[in-house]
Chain A
Amino acid sequence: MGLEQAWNVFAPEPRRGNPHLTAIVTYQDGTSKLWTYPRMERLDFFTKIPKERYRKFFDDNAAWSFPMVWPDIARYVARIHYAEKDNPPILVTLTRFSSDILPMEAGLGKPNLPQSDTKVLGVYEITAKDLAGVKPK
């Protein structure tokens, strides 16, 4: 019914990490491209507002859990990078970069740690079926 609800906002504790995801798209000819979504910390005040769903999808959810959406993300990234009919994307590698947020005793007055912890979430093969119906850009 859509009436289920949970209001554990920042509870029992706020998220303790800063993540971002990247995807490396590998083409048939061996070349590759790096992709990331609109990251809030790089956007201006006004652009952030309509793009906040990316933050929710990637930074709150897909970066940490919900592995069922990772193949979909890979397929989506492959589709938007499908530029030449004779050189389609064949692999997408999803990687999470993150850093822990220091506890207050250690972090007060210091900048956040760089997002340098790396974890490969998956390497996904892209098939012709995944690109069906997409016109090369």
Chain B
Amino acid sequence: MSIFTILQAWDRFWFSEVSPLSVAVYRILLGFLTVAFVLLLIPDLFVWFGSQGICSNQAVADWNNGHAVFLNLFSFCPDNDQFLVAFHFVFFLAAVALMLGFHARWAATICYLCLTSLYHRNPFIFNAGDTYMRVSTFWLIFAASGNALALTGRKKRANPQGNFNDYKKVSIWPLRLLQIQLATVYWHTFFCKIVGGPWIDGTAVFTASRIEDLQRLPLPYVFEHAWTINFLTWSTLGIEGALFTLIWIKEFRYWVIAFAVIFHLTIEYHMNIPLFEWLMIVSYVLFIEPEHLAFALTWLRNKFTKQNVTAL
């Protein structure tokens, strides 16, 4: 292999062009989950972020060791409940706009600003899934996710063939950033786990299954036998390892995704961590070939609208 070949591969990886379909489908799914995120916060909005709530600005400043936080829209109107309501309403509209593809870049920007502001106002209630949502909306700002399946520019894009293969190609690098972000999640969690202890000796899943506040539905047999617990613990490492390595290889990709979906659905069944598993599952769409997505979307449209358009 020559240096020239490596440079060519690098160039192809970052600077070729691709259909916007993958990022568009991801935008829709992420937008849907962001809408759910906004709605789920409403019942206790004032408890977590209100002027008379459970966490003061001072406590957060102390947590940050007094360092100023750069991005927090609540800094403009601290402890103002009217502002909080208006903020949340705008966030809701932006999440809906993101889902529908109405000025998608602006919608992603507003969603990112809102998610970051909420995080900086009360970081103690957010989990890794919320972090993933926040950084994903940031990368979506750079993606041409509004160039397909979007309200804005719909008429301009209309094509007589009526399939999903004809979108004008766009730069691939924002998609690469989103893919690398997903791989980074699994890379980091994998290396945090293999340092030793219960993930290596095969007992970590036992401990996780005994955290009472996380339990949702019981999984009979599985958590009562050492061999199933060992199997699940080491399978977790295997799947997480594959999700930043084998997922890049075409021949393995869909197998890795299939196992990862089963893995996350199992956690979703047993553990109550709303949205987290779904956020990871919908991200796999970023690794699906656009022509396969086009095929699936055409098939779905034919099925639900009784049209008969050739998928590929």
Contacts and interface: CB of A to CB of B under 8 A. Distances in A.
Interface of A: 1-3, 5-16, 18, 20, 39-41, 45, 48-57, 59, 61-62, 66, 68-69, 71-73, 76, 79, 101-104, 107-109, 112, 133-134
B116 interface: yes
A79 to B, nearest CB: 6
Interface stretch (B209-217, B281-289, B293-301): B209-217
B194 to A, nearest CB: 9
Chain B interface SS verdict (over half): helix
Interface stretch (B4-12, B99-107, B182-190, B304-312): B182-190
A45 B71 CA distance: 35
9 contacts: A5-B131, A5-B188, A13-B197, A13-B198, A14-B207, A52-B273, A57-B54, A101-B207, A104-B226
B116 A53 contact: no
Contacts of B216: 45, 48
B70 interface: yes
B125 A57 contact: yes
Contacts of A2: 71, 112, 115-116, 119-120, 134-135, 138
Contacts of B252: none
Given A12-B196, A13-B197, A18-B210, A104 B52 contact: no
A95 B72 CA distance: 32
A14 B204 contact: yes
Contacts of A68: 59, 62-63
B40 interface: yes
A76 B52 contact: yes
Contact of A66 (B48, B124, B193, B214): B124
Nearest to A59: B213
A112 B210 contact: yes
B158 interface: no
A57 B47 CA distance: 11
B125 A14 contact: no
A131 B41 CA distance: 25
In this complex, the interface size class of chain B, counting residues with CB under 8 Å from chain A, is 35 or more
A5 B199 contact: no
Contacts of A39: 213
Given A8-B192, A72-B56, A61 B210 contact: no
B206 interface: yes
B43 A50 contact: yes
Contacts of B188: 5-8
Contact of B125 (A9, A16, A53, A107): A53
A106 B310 CA distance: 60
A56 B273 CA distance: 9
A54 to B, nearest CB: 8
B126 interface: yes
B212 A18 contact: yes
A19 to B, nearest CB: 8
Contacts of A8: 188-189, 192
B251 interface: no
B1 interface: no
A14 B233 CA distance: 12
Given A57-B124, A62-B124, A5 B135 contact: yes
Given A52-B272, A52-B274, 12 more contacts: A1-B70, A2-B112, A3-B135, A7-B189, A10-B193, A12-B193, A13-B204, A14-B208, A56-B126, A56-B127, A72-B54, A73-B54
B18 interface: no
Contact of A7 (B184, B212, B224): B184
A3 B138 contact: yes
